[in-house]
Amino acid sequence: MRLTQLTLGPTVALSLIFACTVAGIRKNPPSGDGDDTSPVGEGGLGGQGDQSSDHNATDDGDGDGDEQGSGGAQSAGPSGCAPGTAVSGVTASGETICSDCEEGEYCAGGDADAAPCEDGTWDHDSNPTTECVAWAECEPGEYVETPGRATNDRECTTCEDGYSNDKNAEDCTDWTSCEAGQYVLDPGSTTTDRSCDDCATGFTENENQKTCTEWSRCSGPTTKDGASTEDATCTAALAVTGGASHTCALFAGGAVWCWGSNQNGQVGISGTDDQALSRPVPGLSGVSQLDAGMNGSCALTGGSIKCWGSTGGLSATTLQGISGIADATSVASGANHSCAALEDGRVKCWGSNAYNQLTGSGDSTTPRLVTISGILEGVTVVSSSYYHTCALGSDLSVSCWGRNNTSQIGTTLFDATTDVISNASSIALGEGGTCVTRTGGVVCWGAYNAGENSSQRAVPDISGAVQVVGGKSHWCVLLDDGSVKCWGTQTYGELGNGTTGSSWMPVTVSNLEGVVTLGAGDNHTCAIVETGDVYCWGRNNDGQLGDGTKANRTTPVKVLAAE
């Protein structure tokens, strides 16, 4: 290395030592050409700025060594680079060059290099003098909407249709789907999965149902049991009939189910306990028509007749066939007598004859022909009440016989009369009155209304009548729009209009539509609707409404089968 000798005075030497100390001039390494002597003539004795054309250094001529380069580069200070800048190079004269840090970096200054924000941190304020901070944490129940980088924070969004139970989850996991046949046991949350359970006593048809729908309770037999994915299918009721305090219904396929009082075996099962739910009559099948009397019932099976309970002068808790009849087309039961229409149009009756219910003389447990001014012929349907019976002929004429204390048979005679009325389409008997449907209206005679006990009269406010039925002292008519109107004495809700007050003008039964046929007992009424279910209302002291209770009902309730 070549040395150049300089002779300096004491003052100059001290000045040079001080200037070097303040400026922090660092000695350059050897250049390799043997010339390590720096010129001192330009810019005074202080630290020199970068004079190279690459950095466009500008000497401010004040000799203090603070010359700045353009483009963010500057000379290092006495303690190195300032915070927010970092060493980016060295000038030809050996000075350290400092440059501004970029977004996403942290620069502590001094001799430290630019430090990019580490993974998991970011430049939160775009200020390189402050340290990078940690990304936001996405909690369970959230997912990472935008990943964190050195220049932006991690962004989190709450799960909407699923869940996450880890921090910083990339996505939410979809909730488990509860399939048909299951229900949602726990709906799930943003942090937990949905849980499901199988339906045990009901069904679901769609995914993710909150509850299982209970299987339909049938009024009688079940065609198909319910499953976890489908409802039970009920066998449709075809006809319903009521006695004093029991009810029976005929179902498709010929089965008969009964409910209510069983004191005389009228429900058809052993014992005498009342039955508030419907039950099948054992051993009875293939039934085409039936009718309930006061304390018993009779059914038509292939031309033969089988009865149970107390009816027709007979008392049996099990089925009893009626001898001497094999060609019946219709059967009816009263308080203590029964009658049947035969294929040849004649009528046979049996039981008590106290009020000429059988015609002729004396009681009879064996069916005998009814004679009214000769043999009654051309009959298609018979209907009985307490102590009288009426027959509908093939010519739509009506003939009645039996008790006549209130002119219920349509004549002042005790015996009977034929051709009481013509052009009738259905018959209904109460204890002291008789009604028929005729040309869309209803005509009655006897004690069918307050103060009425003689001549035939049309019931007001009735049109479109299809069928009429009678209880002890109330009446109901089915109209062609599927609605029902009732009138007469009401103590227990027999009229079905939500009250217990009697009405001699027809009132509409509440909450009932789509009715296809009616039946009546002493103080209760029943209807079959389009679905094949049975609904009843009125007195229920012995369970004759079949809803599982003994509470009277002023509006219809569904009959339920025993499970």
Query: Which pLDDT belongs to residue 96?
Result: 87
What dihedral do alpha carbons 423, 425, 431, 433 form, nearest 10°?
A: -30
More confidently predicted of 421 and 173: 173
Beta bridge partners, 3, equal none
More confidently predicted of 9 and 80: 80
Least confident of 22-36, 80-94, 202-216, 493-507: 22-36
Q: Report how far residue 67's alpha carbon sits from residue 60's, in angstroms, rounded to the nearest whole number.
A: 6
Q: Which of 346, 358, 351, 316 is nearest to 336 (CA)?
A: 351
The pLDDT tens digits of the residues spanning 203-244 come to 999 999 999 999 999 999 999 999 999 999 999 999 999 999
In the chain the first and final C-alpha atoms are separated, in Å, by: 117
User: Which residue in the block uniquely carries the two structure tokens 């009082």?
Assistant: 261
Query: Which pLDDT belongs to residue 453?
Result: 60
Question: What is the DSSP code (8-state) at residue 149?
Answer: B
The pLDDT tens digits of the residues spanning 142-160 come to 999 999 999 999 999 999 9
In this model, does residue 249 exceed pLDDT 50? yes
In this model, does residue 24 exceed pLDDT 80? no
DSSP of 161-229? SEE--STT-SSPEEPPPPPTTEEEEE---SSS--EEEE-SSEE--STT-SSPEEPPPPSS-EEE--BTT
3-state secondary structure of 524: strand
Query: Which pLDDT belongs to residue 447?
Result: 83
Q: Report how far residue 460's alpha carbon sits from residue 465's, in angstroms, rounded to the nearest whole number.
A: 12
Write a three-state SS string for 366-417: EEEECECCCECCCEEEEEECCCEEEEEECCCCEEEEECCCCCCCCCCCCCEE
In this model, does residue 106 exceed pLDDT 80? yes
The pLDDT tens digits of the residues spanning 319-331 come to 999 999 999 999 9
pTM score of the predicted model: 0.75
The pLDDT tens digits of the residues spanning 522-545 come to 999 999 999 999 999 999 999 999
- If you average pLDDT over residues 109-124, what whole number do you get? 91
Query: Which pLDDT belongs to residue 290?
Result: 97
Contact 409, 401 (CB under 8 A): yes
Q: Report how far residue 493's alpha carbon sits from residue 547's, in angstroms, rounded to the nearest whole number.
A: 15
The CA distances from residue 527 to 252, 491, 537, in Å, are 16, 19, 9
- How high is the mean pLDDT of the chain? 86
Assigned token pair, 440: 């869309």
Question: What is the DSSP code (8-state) at residue 227?
Answer: B
Query: Which pLDDT belongs to residue 57?
Result: 39
The pLDDT tens digits of the residues spanning 259-291 come to 999 999 999 998 999 999 999 999 999 999 999
More confidently predicted of 220 and 317: 220
Question: What is the DSSP code (8-state) at residue 265?
Answer: S
Q: Report how far residue 97's alpha carbon sits from residue 87's, in angstroms, rounded to the nearest whole number.
A: 6
CB atoms within 10 A of CB 8: 10
Q: What is the band of 112 on the pLDDT scale with cuts at 50, 70, 90?
A: confident
357 half-sphere exposure, CB direction, 13 A CA radius: 30
Contact 517, 527 (CB under 8 A): yes
Write a three-state SS string for 6-72: CCCCHHHHHHHHHHHHHHCCCCCCCCCCCECCCCCCCCCCCCCCCCCCCCCCCCCCCCCCCCECCCC
Q: What is the band of 315 on the pLDDT scale with cuts at 50, 70, 90?
A: confident
Contact 63, 54 (CB under 8 A): no
The pLDDT tens digits of the residues spanning 444-497 come to 998 876 555 667 889 999 999 999 999 999 999 999 999 999 999 999 999 999
Assigned token pair, 362: 């004396």
More confidently predicted of 93 and 521: 521
CA angle 175, 180, 182 (to 5 degrees): 70
Architecture of domain 233-558: 7 Propeller (2.130)
Query: Which pLDDT belongs to residue 167?
Result: 95
In this model, does residue 31 exceed pLDDT 70? no
CA angle 78, 19, 73 (to 5 degrees): 40
Q: Where are the domains of the chain?
A: 233-558
Q: Side chain identity at 409, as an amino acid letter?
A: I
The pLDDT tens digits of the residues spanning 363-386 come to 999 999 998 776 678 999 999 999
**What H or E segment, with its residue span, contains residue 21?**
helix 10-23
User: Which residue in the block uniquely carries the two structure tokens 């939410």?
Assistant: 172
